[in-house]
Amino acid sequence: MTGGGLPYVPPGSVAEALRVQEEVRPLADLAGPGPTAPATVAGLDVAYAESGDRLAAAVTVLDARTLAVVDSAVTVGRPAFDYVPGLFAFRELPALLDALDRLTVRPDLLVCDGHGLAHPRRFGLACHLGVVTGLPAIGVGKTPLVGEWDEPGPRRGESSPLRDGDEVVGRVLRTRDGVKPVFVSVGHRMSLANAADRVLALTPRYRLPETTRTADRLCRDVLAAASD
């Protein structure tokens, strides 16, 4: 399921992780344009046990037109890397890649609960997953990791640039009238405009994309069951 991208080898140290990040970052296609009418869209999310030493990584694949779940997979395991700011993706990548490999439906787009370009070193989880899988990928964060922005207008679909210094690294997007926005950034093989359009298509009723909502529910349910 993850063929077509770059083989992933877990780093053994912080120094190695930083080196991998620097070497792989230029491989992310940040221009797109990406699919404007994907047939299937996958959500990826990870839930952690209270102890922090166990996780469940879930992928749900939705029909992009009906938003019905057509496939899903989940992996229960342990974080693959220590918690280090800016290197969080390394904790979750092996489990998420394992879940992706368990799918029977190959998604046209990955929607990560996290960030892509809107990252201190411009290579968040959505970028890394996109490069490794070869699939178009975007990040949709509940809160920002970097940057400054002006509050977007109050209506659904209104947005403002997320800037880090002089660079636009994402878009602050209102998905519901009068509800706090989400933070959209490009991961791989997508344009920012297309990423924002896809997020709006995935949020007909709630603030967060249906991809995120279904993956979040699945990983939490499986983790709770595994802890019983």
Tokens of 101: 């490999």
Is there a domain that residue 16 lies in?
Answer: no
d(CA 129, CA 55): 18
d(CA 112, CA 91): 14
- Residue 57: which domain range? 33-227
H/E element, 164: strand 159-164
Q: In this structure, what CATH number is given to the domain that contains residue 70?
A: 3.30.2170.10
21 has a pLDDT exceeding 70: yes
Q: Is 216 annotated as a binding residue?
A: no
Is there a domain that residue 71 lies in?
Answer: yes
d(CA 182, CA 177): 12
Residues contacting 211, CB < 8 A, separation 6+:
41, 42, 43, 44, 60, 62, 111, 202
* Residue 220 or residue 2, greater confidence: 220
H/E element, 221: helix 210-227
Q: What is the pLDDT of residue 33?
A: 93
Is there a domain that residue 26 lies in?
Answer: no
Q: Number of structural domains, the chain?
A: 1
Is there a domain that residue 132 lies in?
Answer: yes
Closest CA to 116 of 183, 19, 37: 183
CA distances from 220 to 58, 141, 215 (A): 9, 18, 9
Is there a domain that residue 19 lies in?
Answer: no
CB atoms within 10 A of CB 180: 12
Q: Is 113 annotated as a binding residue?
A: yes
228 has a pLDDT exceeding 70: no
Q: What is the mean pLDDT of residues 124-130?
A: 95
Q: What is the mean pLDDT of residues 40-59?
A: 91
User: Strand 69-77 and strand 109-112: pairing?
Assistant: unpaired
Is there a domain that residue 57 lies in?
Answer: yes
CB atoms within 10 A of CB 152: 16
51 has a pLDDT exceeding 80: no
Closest CA to 199 of 190, 188, 210: 210
Q: What is the pLDDT of residue 112?
A: 96
Residue 25: is it exposed, middle or buried by C-beta count within 10 angstroms (0-12/13-18/19+)?
middle
Query: Percent of the chain scored above 70 by pLDDT?
Result: 97
Full-model pTM = 0.93
3 has a pLDDT exceeding 60: no
Q: What is the pLDDT of residue 11?
A: 84
Under the banding of pLDDT at 50, 70 and 90, the label for residue 4 is low
Closest CA to 78 of 10, 6, 1, 2: 10
199 has a pLDDT exceeding 80: yes
Closest CA to 45 of 21, 90, 83, 75: 75
Q: What is the mean pLDDT of residues 98-103?
A: 96
Residues contacting 74, CB < 8 A, separation 6+:
56, 57, 58, 59, 99, 102, 218, 219, 222
pLDDT digits (tens, 9 = 90+) for 67-100: 999 999 999 999 888 888 888 889 899 999 999 9
Is there a domain that residue 4 lies in?
Answer: no
Q: What is the pLDDT of residue 44?
A: 97
2 has a pLDDT exceeding 70: no
Is there a domain that residue 194 lies in?
Answer: yes
